[in-house]
């Protein structure tokens, strides 16, 4: 398999987005379903500000999506590709 430069860069950016433990923990929580920023912050014992910062990057990489309801924003996994990528990576770590 060969990759052109643009696809190689985009793939590297994807893996870079997953290179932070906080972002990985956020994705792990969202694997259980949609959550508000507050619920994610409480679940990870982090501030809402820190969670929002990480979610912004995950959203820019199309790993999570946002849904606004009134003043609250709820986040979920973008699509099945993200779920499969996360699960495969976790399986590799567990069995590695």
Reading the chain (96 residues) residue by residue, the pLDDT tens digits are 899 999 999 999 999 999 999 999 999 999 999 999 999 999 999 999 999 999 999 999 999 999 999 999 999 999 999 999 999 999 999 997
Range 12-95 has CATH code 1.10.10.10: yes
**Residue 96 has what pLDDT?**
79
Residue 38 tokens, joined: 């507050």
- Report how far residue 54's alpha carbon sits from residue 47's, in angstroms, rounded to the nearest whole number: 11
**Residue 37 has what pLDDT?**
96
**Residue 79 has what pLDDT?**
95
**Does an H or E element contain 61, and which?**
none
**Residue 92 has what pLDDT?**
94
């Amino acid at each position: 398999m060969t990759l052109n430069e643009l696809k190689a860069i985009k793939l590297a950016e994807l893996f870079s987005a997953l290179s932070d433990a906080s972002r990985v923990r956020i994705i792990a929580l969202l694997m259980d379903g949609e959550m508000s920023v507050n619920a994610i912050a409480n679940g990870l014992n982090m501030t809402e500000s820190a969670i929002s910062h990480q979610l912004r990057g995950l959203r820019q990489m199309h790993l999570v999506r946002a849904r606004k309801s009134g003043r609250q924003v709820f986040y979920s996994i973008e699509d099945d590709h993200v779920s499969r990528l996360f699960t495969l990576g976790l399986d590799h770590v567990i069995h590695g």
